[in-house]
Structure formats: structure tokens, C-alpha cells
């Protein structure tokens, strides 16, 4: 007698590690930021992100911090500017999933 599926469930440790990352991304403005950075392909300054997201400076800054803390983005100061970029490939993969399905329904 054979179980329906031989492949084991993803272990809880992994799920507990991954859930916060997904959670971090699951926010409209943060998704927008990631989408923008993904398309630009290169680091972008906070001001550029603010414009692209069409949101308030403080809020964008807060969201950037959250994304950076979670490791989704990385930042680097260049003179007067701080440039952010995507640091977590999974975030891109997730976005791909969303984009593929974003037209549906």
C-alpha cells in the first residue's frame, strides 16, 4: 500500500522561515516598489521610487526599511542619494507569479 504522494510536505521550519518574507511582500505599496525596481533592473534612488509609487516620502521610506530589514532589498549610499535594488531573487519569482495571473478574473 502506497501513499497518494511520496514527496513529503515542506517542513515547518522552512515554512516559518519563508512566511515572513512572503508576508513582507504582500502589501500593495511594497509590491509596487518591487515591481518598479524589477523593471528598472538597476538601483534606484528613494526619490525615483517615491515618484514611481506616487506615495508620501515618509511612507515610502518606511516601506523601504521593512523590505531591507527582511532582505528583499539592499541599499547603498551614493553621495546625496541612497539607491535601492532587489536583493532577494525569490521576490522576483513571486512577482512573476503575480504578473502572470494579474490579468485573470
Partner DNA sequence: CATGGAGATAGGTATATATAGATGTTCATA
Partner DNA sequence: TATGAACATCTATATATACCTATCTCCATG
For the chain, give the number of residues. 105
Our CB check for DNA shows the closer of 5 and 54 to be 54
Tell me the residue ranges of DSSP E strands in 24-93.
Answer: 44-45, 73-78, 81-86
User: Under the criterion CB under 8 A, does residue 86 sit at the interface with its own copies?
Assistant: no
Q: What is the DSSP letter of 49?
A: H
**83 forms part of the interface with its own copies (CB under 8 A):** no
Closest separation in Å from C-beta 103 to DNA: 24
Q: Which does 1 bind (CB under 5 to 8 A by kind): its own copies, DNA, none?
A: none
Among 26-34, 62-70, 73-81, which window interacts with its own copies (CB under 8 A)? Answer: 26-34
Contact call for residues 81 and 45 (beta carbons, < 8 A): yes
What's the farthest any 2 CA atoms get from each other in the chain? 67
- 34 burial (CB, 10 Å; 0-12 / 13-18 / 19+) is buried
Q: Smallest distance from the beta carbon of 90 to DNA, in angstroms?
A: 18
Residues that bind DNA (CB under 7 A): 20, 23, 27, 29, 45-47, 50, 56-59, 61-62, 64-66, 75, 77, 79-83
Amino acid at each position: 500500500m502506497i501513499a497518494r504522494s511520496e514527496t513529503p510536505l515542506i517542513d515547518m521550519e522552512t515554512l516559518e522561515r519563508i512566511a515572513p518574507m512572503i508576508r513582507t511582500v504582500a502589501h500593495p505599496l511594497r509590491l509596487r516598489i518591487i515591481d518598479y525596481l524589477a523593471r528598472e533592473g538597476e538601483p534606484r534612488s528613494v526619490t525615483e521610487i517615491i515618484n514611481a509609487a506616487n506615495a508620501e516620502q515618509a511612507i515610502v521610506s518606511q516601506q523601504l526599511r521593512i523590505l531591507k530589514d527582511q532582505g528583499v532589498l539592499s541599499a547603498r549610499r551614493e553621495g546625496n542619494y541612497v539607491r535601492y535594488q532587489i536583493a532577494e531573487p525569490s521576490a522576483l519569482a513571486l512577482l512573476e507569479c503575480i504578473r502572470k495571473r494579474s490579468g485573470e478574473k
